[in-house]
Amino acid sequence: MNGSMMSRSPKCLVTGGAGFIGSHLVESLALSGATVRVLDDLSTGHRENLAGLAGKIDLVEGDVRDAALGRQLMEGVDVVFHLAAVASVAPSINDPLTCNDVNVAGALNVLTEARDAGVRRVVLASSAAVYGPDPTVPTAETAPFAPLSPYAASKAAGELYCRVFAKLYGVETVSLRLFNVYGPRQDPASEYSGVVSRFLERLRAGQPPIVHGDGEQTRDFVFVQDVVNAFVLAGGTPGMSGEVFNIGSGEAATINELAETLAGIAAPNRVSRPIHHPERAGDVRHSCADISKARQLLGYAPAVALADGLARTHAWWRESWQSP
């Protein structure tokens, strides 16, 4: 790991560590020599995501809202990476109370237990959704909160609690506003899944992708390994307490461009023009990260171009489809 954490083998707790992003982070930490504990309720995560790390990590099935369990797991921990959450807009609109309970009360519980256990730093997985329909694209961290969904509001609340704990209690906190993360292990069967995995699942079944709206909305797609690198930097770079960083590729692509690129990779011999459905409530029109702050202060440098990342994601999906 980077900075002060390189002086010895750090002890890390990753909440949501059996999920899509979390499992990649756990793998990276474990292979770098860190001692890793994982807390996951397995509601959207999967033990299979961590199968290759048997004997190298400690996986505990449980809930981030369980204060007694959190207190136990944080004993001796240097850094908490908090990724456990209701992680999508649509479920939060259908059930805002659960979203608030998991994302806000859960984050507050993690911060409180980290404070009481003397944890050095908490890194929060936040979201670009906190910006809402910001007219300035690319969007910098100085843009105001303008959430359009309970999910976005819950992430904004989590960030505010991080700021309070950094200033009031001296708990080092770093919040990462993740843009559209994609890559291997995204589960298309989950209602929380991202657009890339849903498109791939449709193409695998010989069906065209479903695009909500006209498809000209833009997103900043960032490969999961680049995001993992950002988490590691956020956990180890000295002097970052209270900071917030955008984590994306810094480049925008339309959903139509995404569908066309994926169709060319996954179904090159078929005509796979997307089907357009009505746009979804709570979605923003344009989104792209200004990542200059993360570049300057963290040394963050996304390395995987969209076409390459999509090809790597499809290769993993193809292998998964062929597995018994």
Domains in the chain with CATH codes? 10-182+221-248 (3.40.50.720)
- Give the confidence band of 224 by pLDDT, cuts at 50, 70, 90: very high
* pTM of the complete model: 0.93
What pLDDT score does 109 carry? 97
What pLDDT score does 267 carry? 84
Q: What is the mean pLDDT of the chain?
A: 92
What pLDDT score does 87 carry? 87
pLDDT tens digits along 266-276: 888 776 788 99
DSSP annotation string for 208-221: PPEEETTS--EE-E
In this structure, is the dihedral angle defined by the CA atoms of residues 297, 17, 259 and 129, taken in order, positive or negative? negative
What pLDDT score does 324 carry? 43
Closest CA to 81 of 23, 127, 15: 15
Average pLDDT of span 211-240? 96
First to last CA, the chain: 36
Please check the confidence at residue 313 and state whether its pLDDT lies above 70: yes
What pLDDT score does 210 carry? 92
pLDDT tens digits along 169-220: 999 999 999 999 999 998 776 655 688 988 998 888 888 899 999 999 999 9
Just list the catalytic residues.
Answer: 151
